[in-house]
Structure 1
Amino acid sequence: MAGRLIYLIGPSGSGKDSLLEAARDSLLQRGGRIVRRVITRSAEATGEAAHGVSVGQFAAMREQGAFAMSWEANGLSYGIPSEIDQWLADGQDVLVNGSRGYLPEARKRYPDLLAVLLTVDQAVLRERLLERRRESLPEIEARLARNAAFTLDAGEDPSLVLLDNSGPIRQTVTQLFALIDRA
C-alpha cells in the first residue's frame, strides 16, 4: 500500500517548523518521514531544518530532476527532493512543509494528498511575527490581513483540513496524528 503525502501549509509564524520538529520522532516511529526542503538561502538563514543552496545550485538540481515539487515564493526557490516518491511507493507517510500557492500543482501530482492548513489565532500570530523581528510593522499587518483572507477562503474548501496551533505544540502534534489517522 502506498504512503500518503501530508502537505502542511500555513502563514509565516504559524509554527510549521516547530510542528515538524515536534512531530519528527513520532512520525518516524510510525514508519513515516519528514522532508528536509531545499531553499535558495543559507542554512543559517532558513529558520528551519532546510538545505540552503545558491540560486545556481538550485537551478542545476531542478534541471537534473532532483525535485518532486518546486516553486518560487517570497523571492526564493523551494524544492522537495524527489526521494519522496520512493518513500511513498514504499508505503511511508511523508510530511512536507509546502506552499499555499503551489497546493493546486501538488494536488495534480499527488491527488490523494492530505492538505493541512496550520492556523493560529491572529493575536498569537501577530505576537510571533513581532518576536521574530524579520519584518516591519506594516509588513506584519499586511501579512496578517492576507492570512485572515486565506483562512476564510480555506474554510470553504472541504479538501483542506484546518489544524489550530494557538496552544501548546504537543497538543497540536496529537491533533495532527488524529487527522492523519482519520484520513
Structure 2
Amino acid sequence: MSPDADRKPTNEGVSDATAGIMAVVVGPSGAGKDTLMNLAARYFAGRPDVHFVRRVITRDGDAGNEDHRSVSEADFEAMKKAGSFAVSWEAHGLKYGIPADAADELARGNLVIANGSRSALHHFQTAFPRLKVINITARREVLAERLMARGRESREDVLKRLDRSALTVQGSYDVTDIDNSGTLEKAEQAIISALETLIGK
C-alpha cells in the first residue's frame, strides 16, 4: 500500500502564531525521511530558534526510527478531545498527533520542524499558514531496493506499492524536493541548507 494510504487527517484548530515558520517533512517509505530528520535535529541541537516537534503516536516507544511520545489509543483520544493537538491523523492502524504547543514556538518567531504526511498537508496549512514542505524522495529503483532490503514485502508487492505512490507533493504548497538517491551526506547537507534558509524569515 502507499505510505499515505488510508490516512484520515483531522485539523484540530487554527494557530494564530504566524511569526515563525512550520516546516513539514514528508516522503514515501524508503526515502530516508526519519534518518535525515534525526541528522538535522543533531545538527541544530542547542539552537533556541529551531524546534523539532516530538509527535504523539499510538505505537511502542521503541518502534520505528523516530523519537516520539508513545500513548494508548484511549489516551490519544482523550488528548484529542482536550485540544492537545494542532493536527492529527491516522495511518495503517496508528494515530499521529502534532502537539498544540508547537504554536508557542511559532509565536516566538522560531522555525518548527515536524514529521508529517503528504495527505495531511492541507490540514497543516490550515493550522499553520506559514508552511514550508520538504519532500524527501529517491528514484523508484532506489526506493524498491531499500524496501526489499527490509524483508517485509516481496519484490512484486514493493513494485505495486511504488506504482500506486506519487513521489511528488500534489497541491499549491511551497515545496523543496530533496533527492536522497545518492550519498546520505549529500542529502543531509541538502536538508540542513533548506532549513537554514528558513531561520529568521
Trace 1:124-163 onto structure 2 (pairs within 5 A). 124-147=142-165, 150-151=166-167, 154=169, 159-163=174-178
Structure number with the higher helix fraction is: 1
What secondary structure does 2:98 align onto?
strand
Counterpart amino acid of 1:20?
Answer: M
Give the distance between the partners of 2:50 and 2:188, measured in 1 at CA.
14
Ranges of 4+ aligned residues in structure 1 off by more than 4 Å = 155-158
1:168 paired residue number: 183
Higher RCO by CA contacts (8 Å cutoff, separation 6 or greater):
2
- The answer (yes or no) to whether the contact 1:5–1:114 under 8 Å persists in 2 is yes
CA 1:38 to 1:155, structure 2 compared with 1: closer, same or farther past 3 Å? Answer: closer
Aligned-residue offset at 1:29: 4.7
CA 1:47 to 1:59, structure 2 compared with 1: closer, same or farther past 3 Å? Answer: same
Give the distance between the partners of 1:13 and 1:4, measured in 2 at CA.
27
The match for 1:107 among 125, 130, 133 is: 125
Trace 1:14-25 onto structure 2 (pairs within 5 A). 14-25=31-42
Aligned-residue offset at 1:182: 4.3
1:3 paired residue number: 20
Give the distance between the partners of 2:54 and 2:160, measured in 1 at CA.
28
What root-mean-square deviation, in Å, do the aligned CA atoms of Structure 1 and Structure 2 show?
A: 2.1
How many positions carry a matched residue from both structures? Answer: 180
Q: Unpaired segments of 5 or more residues in structure 1?
A: none
Counterpart amino acid of 1:22?
Answer: L
Counterpart amino acid of 1:41?
Answer: R
% same residue: 37
CA 1:68 to 1:141, structure 2 compared with 1: closer, same or farther past 3 Å? Answer: same
State which drifts further: 56-65 or 37-46. 37-46
Give the distance between the partners of 1:85 and 1:130, measured in 2 at CA.
39
- The answer (yes or no) to whether the contact 1:22–1:173 under 8 Å persists in 2 is yes
2:3 paired residue number: none
Counterpart amino acid of 2:42?
Answer: D
TM-score of the two chains, using structure 1 as the length reference? 0.87
TM-score of the two chains, using structure 2 as the length reference? 0.80
Q: Unpaired segments of 5 or more residues in structure 2?
A: 1-17
